[in-house]
């Protein structure tokens, strides 16, 4: 009997199979080789002095670039603002914008993944920029310096830019990110409750905040004396504001930690005193998002709070707020113990959230045009009128629409008084880019001190030591 022909049920012979696999493998090899040979390899030196090999030509924006069909944008910014800007950009230039809008932490993770992929082109033309990102990404060459683009821009004039954003945006003398608006906080208070308690003015010092909060705390009415966002990087911002007011600083000019000081102790002790007085909304220690904090305030659950400027729109909306017409806002307080009685300061995140151009973007000029679109007069005014976001352009502060909201005049004062220039270092983040270590250990150990699990001194020393360890490793 003849041996049965060896086939699969679909009559694929071994020869067919091998032919198919062989052609496939050969195709892959040829494709990979062609792809490799098509891109000239170039060695460039990154801004941190790190020499890297890339398979693209890095341009600094002088020649007119070919118009792309679309650009990819990763932003942490408010979706309505980004969508507005994207639609304006499309109208103006006919270029689509593919937006990825996500939160701070996922933004950081996405940028890390994009950076370490080693791919020839970046996933994003415009990446989210925030102050802890500058050193992480600029140092490693992921961002493109913006100075040349800014110099040629007809929209962006640095002398027309409000706020102390430039310090955190700078690295090795260059600007790596531009803000879309200023993010700052004000002391927000319930006018009705203060009047009922016999106060005719808001607290002006941190010590007064504690005193007021104790008196305003009313468990029977479900009102806490104070609510805040003391978690993760927001706690870091809160602590920075507090230590600045106490006359301290986070880092010495040489980059070594400076927060383990008398001012640091006074600052942390204030958080502890507030907490231990039992007048703080309990989720304050778990509230990462300023939005949650604002919701608690809007729900009438707190008498005092530090709220982001954009929350004022929420407080005025009767659908979202029970404190409509009952709240007031004031300059951020100073510290009674501060010998210089420093002017009050805004949250040190006043540079806001912004955008950077990725060094491997194929559409750098268009990416910059998109960033510019955020900074047009029209977009900045849209911030004010539709979102309650503090503008970053000085001229927009004088617009009649902006002047309708007294909060923005207060914001301007705070931003003008921000103590950046009082310090030798350009900003308060670590010069060697260990910002995320600092944020984590700061929140972790300072919380323990606030809860009374360890002493204030021990918390400051531990975090100082961890930061020194991290800096050594970096």
Residues that bind another protein (CB under 8 A): 3-4, 6, 8, 14, 17-18, 21, 44, 46, 50, 52-54, 108-109, 112, 115-118, 136, 140-142, 219, 231-232, 278, 281-283, 285-286, 288, 296, 301, 359-360, 434, 436-437, 440, 443-444, 447-448, 451, 453, 465-466, 469-470, 473
Burial (CB < 10 A; 0-12, 13-18, 19+), residue 235, is buried
Q: Which lies closer to another protein via its Cβ, residue 245 or residue 285? A: 285
Task: Give min distance, CB of 410 to another protein, in A.
Answer: 29
Q: Which lies closer to another protein via its Cβ, residue 282 or residue 325? A: 282
Q: Which lies closer to another protein via its Cβ, residue 165 or residue 306? A: 306
Render 153-172 in DSSP notation, one character per residue. Answer: -SS--GGGB-STTHHHHEET
Task: Give min distance, CB of 26 to another protein, in A.
Answer: 14
Q: Which lies closer to another protein via its Cβ, residue 10 or residue 319? A: 10
Q: Is 282 helix (H, G, I), strand (E, B) or coil?
A: helix
- Give the CA distances from residue 179 to residues 53, 183, 349, 394, 453, in Å, rounded to whole numbers and listed in that order: 30, 9, 11, 13, 39
Q: Which lies closer to another protein via its Cβ, residue 24 or residue 406? A: 24
Task: Give min distance, CB of 176 to another protein, in A.
Answer: 14
Q: Which lies closer to another protein via its Cβ, residue 240 or residue 360? A: 360
Contact (Cβ atoms closer than 8 angstroms) between residue 114 and residue 411: no
Task: Give min distance, CB of 208 to another protein, in A.
Answer: 24
Task: Give min distance, CB of 140 to another protein, in A.
Answer: 5
Task: Give min distance, CB of 52 to another protein, in A.
Answer: 4
Two structure tokens written together for 307:
């709220």
Distance CA 316, CA 328 (A): 11
Task: Give min distance, CB of 3 to another protein, in A.
Answer: 7
DSSP 8-state assignment for residue 197: T
Scored b (16 or more CB within 10 A) or e, 415-442 reads: bebbbbeebebbbbbbbebbbbbbbbbb
Report the candidate in 54, 68, 37 with the shortest Cα–Cα distance to residue 364. Answer: 68
Distance CA 418, CA 228 (A): 21
Place of tokens 């090999």: 53
Give the orientation angle of helix 262-276 with respect to helix 456-473, to 10 degrees: 130
Q: Which lies closer to another protein via its Cβ, residue 106 or residue 253? A: 106
């Amino acid at each position: 009997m003849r041996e049965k022909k060896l086939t699969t049920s679909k009559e694929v012979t071994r020869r067919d199979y091998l032919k198919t696999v062989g052609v496939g493998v050969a195709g892959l090899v040829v494709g990979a080789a062609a792809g490799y040979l098509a891109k000239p390899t170039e060695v460039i030196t990154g801004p941190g002095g790190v020499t890297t090999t890339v398979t693209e030509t890095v341009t600094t924006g002088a020649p007119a670039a070919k118009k792309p069909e679309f650009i990819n944008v990763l932003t942490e910014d408010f979706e309505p603002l980004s969508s507005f800007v994207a639609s304006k950009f499309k109208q103006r230039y006919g270029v689509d914008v593919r937006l990825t809008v996500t939160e701070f932490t996922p933004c950081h993770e996405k940028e890390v993944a994009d950076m370490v992929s080693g791919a020839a082109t970046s996933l994003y033309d415009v990446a989210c920029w925030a102050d802890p990102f500058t050193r992480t990404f600029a140092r490693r060459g992921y961002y493109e310096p913006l100075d040349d683009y800014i110099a040629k821009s007809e929209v962006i004039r640095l002398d027309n830019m409000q706020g102390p954003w430039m310090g955190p945006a700078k690295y090795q003398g260059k600007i790596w990110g531009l803000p879309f608006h200023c993010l700052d906080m004000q002391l927000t208070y319930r006018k009705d409750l203060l009047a009922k308690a016999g106060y005719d003015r808001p607290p002006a010092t941190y010590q007064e905040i504690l005193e007021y909060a104790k008196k305003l705390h009313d468990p029977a009415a479900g009102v806490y004396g104070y609510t805040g966002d003391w978690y993760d990087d927001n706690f870091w911002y809160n602590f920075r504001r507090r230590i600045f007011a106490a006359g301290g600083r986070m880092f010495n000019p040489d980059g070594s930690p400076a927060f383990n000081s008398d001012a640091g102790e006074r600052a942390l002790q204030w958080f502890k005193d507030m907490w231990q007085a039992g007048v703080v909304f309990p989720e304050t220690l778990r509230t990462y998002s300023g939005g949650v904090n604002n919701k608690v305030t809007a729900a009438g659950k707190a008498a005092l709070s530090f709220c982001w400027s954009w929350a004022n729109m929420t407080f005025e909306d009767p659908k979202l707020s029970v404190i409509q017409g009952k709240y007031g806002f004031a300059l951020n307080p100073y510290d009674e113990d501060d010998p210089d009685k420093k002017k009050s300061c805004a949250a040190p995140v006043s540079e806001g959230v912004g955008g950077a151009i990725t060094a491997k973007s194929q559409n750098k000029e268009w990416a910059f045009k998109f960033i510019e679109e955020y900074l047009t007069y029209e977009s900045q005014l849209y911030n004010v009128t539709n979102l309650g976001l503090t503008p970053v352009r000085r001229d927009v502060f004088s617009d009649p629409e902006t002047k309708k909201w007294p909060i923005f005049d207060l914001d301007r004062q705070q931003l003008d008084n921000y103590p950046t220039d009082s310090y030798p270092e350009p900003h308060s983040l670590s010069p060697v880019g260990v910002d995320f270590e600092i944020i984590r250990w700061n929140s972790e150990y300072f919380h323990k001190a606030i809860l009374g699990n360890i002493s204030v001194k021990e918390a400051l020393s531990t975090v100082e030591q961890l930061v020194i360890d991290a800096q050594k490793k970096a």
